[in-house]
Amino acid sequence: MKRISKLLTMAILSGFFLNSCSSDDDIVDPIEEPQPEQAYSDGFFVLNEGSSGGGSVTFIDNDLQNVEHEIYQQVNVEDDPGQYIQSIFFNENLAYIVSNGSNMITIVDRYTFEYVDRIDSGLLSPRYGVIENGKIYVTNQGNYEAPGVTEFDDFIAIIDLETLEIEKTIETNTVLEYIHEEDGLIYVQKAAFGAGNEIAVIDSNSDEIITTIGTEETLNSFEIEDGVLYALSSNKLEKIDLVTGEPLVEFEINSDAGSAGKLEFENDMIYYTIGNSVFMMDESADTVPEEALFSYTSNSDYGVMYGFEVKNDRIYIADGGDFASNSFVEIYTTSGELIENIEVGVGPNGFYFND
C-alpha cells in the first residue's frame, strides 16, 4: 500500500469492520409518531461515523435536553446515509451528508431530515465539501488500489448545484482533506494522516488553482480569520498572510502530552487539542499556553478527541470509543467547566450547528 488507508489509520480498520452495537430502543417509528415540521432546528447534529454497518446522525437541542438518535433512519425508513459518514455541509434549507465508505452525498432537508436527492457517481472516498458560486466542491482521497474515477488518485470534484452532475475534477495526486470558502476562493488542504504541507487556492469563477500556500510543517488542520490563515501541525502553529502567503508568526508547541491535532478559532480566541486536552490562547498572544484549559477522560485506543468544535461560547468534544459500540460527546464552557456528557452513536466525529 502506497500510503495509509483513506478511511482511517490502518491501526483502527479492524475496529471499523465490527458490527455496530448501537441500540434500536431509541428509534421512533415515523409512521406511529411522525416528525413535526422543523423538528431539527435550534440545535446541532453529531455525525456518527459508524462501523461497516453504516453511520448515523444524532440531534441534540441547544438546551442539551432533547437527544434523538439515528434521525435519518427515523425519517427515511429502509434507507441509511451510508458507510463511514464523514461530514455535513449546508446550503440554505438543505444538508449534504458525505459518506466516505459509500462514495456518495445524501441531500436532506436540514430541518426535517427528509430525503431530497443523492449524488452517487463520480466520487471516490469523499471527505469534505463547500458550496460557492452555484457549485459544490468536494475533496476526494481516492484509493491507490482502485483509482476508478480519474487517472489520478486524489481530486476535487466540482458539481453543478442544480443538476448534481460533476462538471470538472481538479486532480492533485496528493492527499486531500479539509476545504473552506472565503471571499469566492476555495482553500483545500493538501495534507492528511501525517503527510503534506500545502493548501491549494481555487478561484470559483475559473475553477483553476491560482496559487498554493505552503506551511513549514506537516499540516493537520487550518482556519481562516480576518485575512489570516492559521495552520496547525503536530508541533507548530503558523499564522500566514492570506493574500501573500507569507508567514507572519510561528509558535512552537512542545508538549509531553503528545502532538497537536485539531484547530478552531472563535471570538478572537484560538483553540487546539493535544491528546485528550484542550488548549486556548488569545489570537494576539505572543506565546502558546503551557497549561491545558481542561482534559477529559477517554479509554479509546484510537478515538481520543475524534471530534472537536468551538461554537456559541461552548467547547464540544467527541470520543471515538471502540468504533463498535455507542460512544459519547461532552460539552464544556469556554472556561473549561463540564456542562453535559451525552451518549451518541458509533464513532462520533463532528458537530454541525443548525440554528
- pLDDT score, position 195: 87
Percent of the chain clearing pLDDT 70 (strictly above)? 87
- pLDDT score, position 34: 53
CA distance 199 to 241: 13
| Band of residue 250 on the pLDDT scale cut at 50, 70, 90 | very high
- Residue of 138, 146, 147 lying closest to 120 (CA atoms): 138
CA distance 169 to 140: 10
- pLDDT score, position 191: 93
The answer to whether residues 278 and 271 touch, using CB atoms and an 8 Å cutoff, is yes
Could you report the per-residue pLDDT of 45-69, keeping only the tens digit for each? 999 999 877 899 999 999 999 999 9
- pLDDT score, position 12: 38
pLDDT at 150 > cutoff 60: no
C-alpha distances out from residue 208 to 65, 140, 160, 205, Å? 46, 17, 16, 8
Concatenating the DSSP letter of every residue in 14-37 gives HHHTSPP---STT---TTTSPPPT
- Residue of 284, 337, 325, 331 lying closest to 312 (CA atoms): 331
| Band of residue 11 on the pLDDT scale cut at 50, 70, 90 | very low
Please give the radius of gyration of the chain, using alpha carbons only, rounded to the nearest integer.
19
φ, ψ at 12 (rounded to 5°): -115, 5
| Band of residue 25 on the pLDDT scale cut at 50, 70, 90 | very low
Who contacts 87 (Cβ-Cβ below 8 Å, separation ≥6)?
47, 98, 127, 128, 129, 350
- pLDDT score, position 281: 97
Could you report the per-residue pLDDT of 273-331, keeping only the tens digit for each? 999 999 999 999 999 999 999 999 999 999 999 999 999 999 999 999 999 999 999 99
Who contacts 290 (Cβ-Cβ below 8 Å, separation ≥6)?
none
CA distance 270 to 265: 5
CA distance 315 to 331: 6
| Band of residue 8 on the pLDDT scale cut at 50, 70, 90 | very low
Could you report the per-residue pLDDT of 78-123, keeping only the tens digit for each? 899 999 999 999 999 999 999 999 999 999 999 999 999 999 999 9
Could you report the per-residue pLDDT of 260-276, keeping only the tens digit for each? 999 999 999 999 999 99
| Band of residue 355 on the pLDDT scale cut at 50, 70, 90 | confident
**Of 25 and 345, more confident:** 345
Percent of the chain clearing pLDDT 90 (strictly above)? 79
The model carries a pTM of: 0.88
